[in-house]
Amino acid sequence: MLFAKTPGLVEYLVIMAGGALGSGARVWISWAVAMRFGESFPWGTILVNVSGCLAIGLFVGLTGPESPFLVAPLLRQAVALGVLGGFTTFSSFSIQTLALASDGQWFNASGNVLLSVVVCLAATWLGGMLASAFVSRF
């Protein structure tokens, strides 16, 4: 669990600053990969998602309450939610799904996967259709 209490202004600001760093890293890596390998397949996005998932798994696992590494809660939030959350929300999705599965909440873990993939793809399609309908009126 990354929040023991409702986050205050300091937590929000630190997490937002981390998010800016993560978002900047995502854009730079995606651009660099596209320049190197072309844009016919989203290799940059795949690299960001996989590396972000690896990083959040390592970081949360190494800095959890049962870990021998003591990390201040605010730093843990800044890195996990801010930097890595800004880098790729897929890492947040993955760590939350694994937490549900680890707690034996298989129905909720499966629901998270199904809703996150299928419903988000459907929502993206719907958004595109709505935008297309809007644009065609002008």
> pLDDT tens digits for 38-73?
988 888 988 998 899 899 989 988 888 878 788 899
Neighbour tally for 45: CB within 10 Å: 16
Q: What is the CA radius of gyration of the chain?
A: 18
What does the pLDDT read at residue 1? 60
79: pLDDT confidence band, cut at 50, 70 and 90? very high
22 CA to centre of own chain: 10
Asked if residue 61 and residue 25 are part of one domain, the reply reads yes
pTM of structure: 0.74
For residue 1, being part of any structural domain is answered with no
| 8 A C-beta contact, residue 78 and residue 17 | yes
Please write the tens of the pLDDT for every residue from 2-21.
Answer: 666 787 899 999 999 999 99
Count of domains in the chain?
2
Asked if residue 112 and residue 96 are part of one domain, the reply reads no
Asked if residue 87 and residue 120 are part of one domain, the reply reads no
Asked if residue 113 and residue 98 are part of one domain, the reply reads no
Asked if residue 98 and residue 122 are part of one domain, the reply reads no
Please write the tens of the pLDDT for every residue from 18-40.
Answer: 999 999 999 999 999 999 999 88
Asked if residue 118 and residue 90 are part of one domain, the reply reads no
Asked if residue 18 and residue 61 are part of one domain, the reply reads yes
For residue 46, being part of any structural domain is answered with yes
Alpha-carbon gap, residue 75 to 29, rounded angstroms: 24
Domain ranges, residue 51: 9-103
